[in-house]
Structure 1
């Protein structure tokens, strides 16, 4: 699993994704084991990062579903969820707070 996470973050990093964060959600009552969040440089870059992931990770990774918009793309690899977001959407939806609380076992607490 760690090799898969490293490969995904390497692809994102080498293609100029910013603020890449990995959340270990194993045994945390969440539907995936890991979530990865990365910021794009803008809408076109969001799509470009998805293309890089598809090109560099297939066929070793199975893309179960991809939900695309120009501001936020979610890639479902089954046990790993990848969020690629524009900086504005990343601030607006603040997934880090939710996933951090979940990873720390504080999912029921208010922030």
Structure 2
């Protein structure tokens, strides 16, 4: 699992994603084991990061679902959820607080 997370974060980092955060949700009451959030530089960069992930992760990873809007893309790999967001959307929806609270629950 760690190698998969490292590969994802490495692809994001190499392609200029910013503020990449990984949330370990193993054993928590959530539908995935890990969530990754990264900021893009804008709408076109959000889509470009998705393309980089598809090229870098396939065929090893199965993309169960990809929910695309220009400002926020969610990639479901089954046990890992990747959020790529423009900085404005990241601030607006504050997924970090939600995931941080969730990852610290029952500690």
What is the CA deviation profile of residues 64-109 of structure 1, one whole-angstrom value per residue up to 9, with x for unaligned ones?
A: 0000010000000000000000000000000000000000007xxx
Give the CA RMSD over aligned residues: 0.7
The SS at the match of 1:73 is: strand
TM-score if structure 2 supplies the norm length? 0.98
Give the corresponding residue for 1:5.
5
Q: Which runs of no fewer than 5 residues in structure 1 stay unpaired? A: 107-111
- 2:40 matches 1:40: yes
TM-score if structure 1 supplies the norm length? 0.95
- How many residues align? The count is 106
Map 1:76-95 to 2 at 5 A.
76-95=76-95
Q: Which runs of no fewer than 5 residues in structure 2 stay unpaired? A: none
